[in-house]
Amino acid sequence: MRPSWDEYYMEMAEVAKKRSTCMRRQVGAVIVKDQRLLASGYNGAPSGINHCSEVGCLREKLGVPSGERHELCRGLHAEQNAIIQAALHGVGIKGSTIYVTHKPCIICTKMMINAGIQKLIYKGDYPDGLSEAMLKEAGITVEKYTEDERS
């Protein structure tokens, strides 16, 4: 059977996730507009910087719980990398949809709002109440992906 658009793009986010160098959680993201893939990203250190998989996880060393103190990390999140890649290559993402393998944190949510992303489709949960509240306040459509639909 032919995959739905949501299934197609979420599978692409899952493939992007495979490039992650995070030792705690691998995440992938793709940004889409008018059924065209605009950018992709995965979580890992900035270009030219050693990855956590090479030098160890600072968050693990410091005992930082998941969902807290995002600034204490060598890596960028998948959503951040996708937005940055679009900007780096001059690709406008205003009015787009982002597919992410995990619900975004508050930092990624704020970036998505200012980048003009209008819809979020996510697969896995992530505990961040402020992120949920700001997505709602910004009017971003939020959908949890389910694998039941094909067309």
- Domains, the chain, ranges and CATH? 5-144 (3.40.140.10)
Residue 108 is labelled as binding a ligand: yes
What global pTM score does this model have?
A: 0.93
Is 89 one of the annotated binding-site residues?
Answer: no
In single-letter form, the type of residue at position 12 comes to M
**For 97-135, what is each residue's pLDDT tens digit?**
999 999 999 999 999 999 999 999 999 998 888 999 999
- 36-79 pLDDT, tens digit each: 999 999 999 999 999 988 999 998 899 998 878 888 888 999 99
Please indicate whether residue 79 is annotated as part of the active site.
Answer: yes
Candidate list 71, 79, 132, 137, residue with the active-site label: 79
Report the 10 Å Cβ neighbour count for 31: 27
Looking at residue 151, its pLDDT comes to 46
